[in-house]
Amino acid sequence: MGSMHTNLEEQVDGFVRLAAFYAERAAGGVGLIITGGVSPNESGILAPKRVILSRKQHVAEHQLITQAVHQYSTKICMQILHAGRYGYHSQIVAPSAIQAPIVPFIPHALSHEEIEQQIQDFVNCAGLALEAGYDGIEIMGSEGYLINQFICRHTNKRDDQWGGSFINRARFPLEIVRRIRQNFGENFIVIFRLSILDLVENGSDLQEVIALALALEKVGVNIINSGIGWHETRVPTIASVVPRASFSHITARVKNHINIPIVACNRINTPEIAEHILKENMADMVSMARPFLADSQFVNKASADQAETINTCIACNQACLDHIFVNKVASCLVNPRAGYETLLNFEPVDKPKKLAVVGSGPAGAMFAIYAAQRGHKVTLFEQSTTIGGQLNLAAKVPGKEEFKEFLRYIKQTLRQSTVDVQLGQSPSYSQLSEFDEVIIATGTNARNLEIPGSQHSKVVSYQDVIEENVEVGEKVAVIGTGGIAFDLVAKLTSTNTKSWSLLEKQQNFAAHWGIDYSNQVNGGLISSVDNSENSKQITMLQRKVRKPGAGLGKTTVWIHRKEFKRRGVKTLSLVKYVGISDQGLTLNIRGEDTVLEADSIIVCAGQQSHLSYDLTRFSQPVHIIGGANNVVGLDAKSAIESSAWLAAKI
């Protein structure tokens, strides 16, 4: 299990929760766990109040983690991470005083004496990790953090023994490893997270990456773990738009030159993909992080040849990385228990109830699954002929194809559960009166725009466009700039890759984003080639002045904005909608009427709750979940989360 930030450490009983989090993954069959990053000193923290291991008084709380994991015979290594110029505080340090584009602070350039102290702090931290019971450490040398900042010309402008030539730039990480190995012997695992593809200007090329890997091997590193991209990189590296295992090609190139194991990472989310990487000799080991958030039993299920039962990571980032950036606990859209192992559990009930669930979208279906796990007698009613609700639409959006995996998991789990699924059924009040409690999860409807001409033939629904039920003209007006509008524009501007092989998808992705898998020059960045098939003139419209997609997740919204700009999508703000006619859409912008010529007008102005039952007619308790309850800030994450907490207590 690869390292990932959880923000659990800063919570009340944080280390107790963290121990339970890792223990559940160990029980699920993970062989080696790498913890989230722990700073060796104050200057290295990512943000105020983040975890530091620099004193013996902190050892005991880490022992909670190691003891919990070791009861399952799983190895665990603590990652030592110094943020360098990526720290979000005023005390940050770096090899050179160059501000990161994603941080508002200018780092202090370390003196020779301060560099020596930093090295000693790494050694001290490693020793405390050993005392805490960790089997080893991973030194974070990638993703643009401090060590990576020393290695790269991009951030190291020094002209002393710590900068300039490659040998000098590599001195800092090599000294850290050498001294750790000298102090703690051969039985202490030392992993180095090496940036094998920086994806920034003046990044390391393959020759330097291999040279550093060989030097690290020589001074005592046991395992090289791959790192891809810096946090300031403007190339997607883990989002769902990245084809599976895209970066294993560069891992394979490094593997051919070293004698110690190398680990592949990034967008590996199924046993089949992991096995493919190993079988093709692209890596010696495979690392996953988010897939173990989605399903802690991933390894056990794969070992038992039950891959179809795995709750697959869909790479959405909505509850994991997006949470981290707003200081929330990392969790998972498809598994809201992740990060809440001590708080959210589906314990068996003493007295099972007869529960009716109306609606099989993400909220209703997952509630039914969770409630049935507890022993309740659940009947799931769905008026259509298929399970999944809005998930079926999401799975047809380019870049969201992984939602098909979640649909597969829901259907498979329902088949194996005791839930009585009734498709094509809208239960009457009489039918529902037979149940102890009723859960209404009937979802949402698209909000209509009430303006003159809204019934014009130019107006088409976003559902019909995404499902490819209608032809869309060349000039398109999209009313709205939120999540639905982004999905719609992605559908209209993306290349159809349904028939492509995985390799073809990987190659197209690399060309489109300017990635050189061979990493010959410039950190793997080359000129991009736009292979999109978009010929439409698209204008997105919004009432306010703000960036399109203002409410979307920070880790992925920039990808869509960059793509839309590249494909000529325009945005008009401060608009009022006057009417629709044969000429197009009449707008009032800052008091002046104008006609936007449009062949197709697509309304993406949000959703409204679909609640078709009169609650006063029920005599038993009724619970409303998901979009049927509240559309403010609604997404699949919040819908599933609300269903889980209700199922745990009903």
The secondary structure of 99-163 as a DSSP string is --TT-SSPPEEPPHHHHHHHHHHHHHHHHHHHHTT-SEEEEEE-TTSHHHHHH-TTT----STTS
Using CA atoms, how far apart are residues 550 and 546, in angstroms rounded to an integer? 7
Using CA atoms, how far apart are residues 26 and 300, in angstroms rounded to an integer? 10
Using CA atoms, how far apart are residues 261 and 285, in angstroms rounded to an integer? 7
Least confident of 281-295, 348-362, 539-553: 539-553
Q: CA-CA distances (angstroms) from residue 124 to 34, 171, 187, 209, 609?
A: 19, 19, 17, 27, 56
Please give the CATH number for the structural domain made up of 354-446+608-649.
Answer: 3.40.50.720
Nearest of 368, 372, 345, 373 to residue 358 by alpha carbon: 368
Using CA atoms, how far apart are residues 382 and 400, in angstroms rounded to an integer? 24
pLDDT above 70 as % of the chain:
100
Q: At 29, which amino acid appears? A: G
Which residues are known to be catalytic?
Answer: 145
**Segment 9-29 mean pLDDT:** 96
Beta-carbon count within 10 A of 256 CB? 10
Using CA atoms, how far apart are residues 483 and 446, in angstroms rounded to an integer? 13
**Segment 346-363 mean pLDDT:** 98
Q: How far apart are the first and last CA of the chain?
A: 34
Pairing of strands 223-228, 262-264: parallel
Pairing of strands 475-479, 600-603: parallel
Is the CB of residue 235 less than 8 Å from the CB of residue 181?
Answer: no
Using CA atoms, how far apart are residues 567 and 476, in angstroms rounded to an integer? 13
* The pLDDT value given to residue 355: 99
* The pLDDT value given to residue 627: 87
* The pLDDT value given to residue 62: 98
Nearest of 321, 586, 583, 603 to residue 462 by alpha carbon: 603
**Segment 396-401 mean pLDDT:** 95
27-53 residue pLDDT tens = 999 999 999 999 999 999 999 989 999
Largest Cα–Cα separation, the chain: 83
Nearest of 364, 337, 344, 467 to residue 423 by alpha carbon: 364
CB crowding 369-381: b at 16 or more within 10 Å, else e: bbbbbbbbbbbbb
Domain regions of the chain by residue span: 14-317, 354-446+608-649, 459-494+532-605
Nearest of 616, 621, 650 to residue 437 by alpha carbon: 621
**Segment 530-535 mean pLDDT:** 75
Fold of 459-494+532-605: FAD/NAD(P)-binding domain (3.50.50)
Q: At 320, which amino acid appears? A: C
Q: At 93, which amino acid appears? A: V
**Segment 456-474 mean pLDDT:** 95
Using CA atoms, how far apart are residues 629 and 358, in angstroms rounded to an integer? 13
Residue 531 pLDDT greater than 80, yes or no = no
Cβ-in-10-Å burial (0-12, 13-18, 19+) of 438 comes to buried
69-106 residue pLDDT tens = 999 999 999 999 999 999 999 999 999 999 999 999 99
- Enter the pTM of the model: 0.95
Cβ-in-10-Å burial (0-12, 13-18, 19+) of 120 comes to middle
Is the CB of residue 631 less than 8 Å from the CB of residue 606?
Answer: yes
pLDDT band at 20 (very low <50, low <70, confident <90, very high): very high
Cβ-in-10-Å burial (0-12, 13-18, 19+) of 424 comes to exposed
Average pLDDT for the chain:
96
CA angle (288 as vertex; 285, 293 as ends), nearest 5: 150
Most confident of 118-127, 437-446, 542-551: 118-127
* The pLDDT value given to residue 609: 85
Fold of 14-317: TIM Barrel (3.20.20)
173-195 residue pLDDT tens = 999 999 999 999 999 999 999 99
Nearest of 81, 62, 80 to residue 70 by alpha carbon: 62
* The pLDDT value given to residue 633: 67
Residue 634 pLDDT greater than 80, yes or no = no
Residue 508 pLDDT greater than 90, yes or no = yes
Using CA atoms, how far apart are residues 380 and 617, in angstroms rounded to an integer? 20
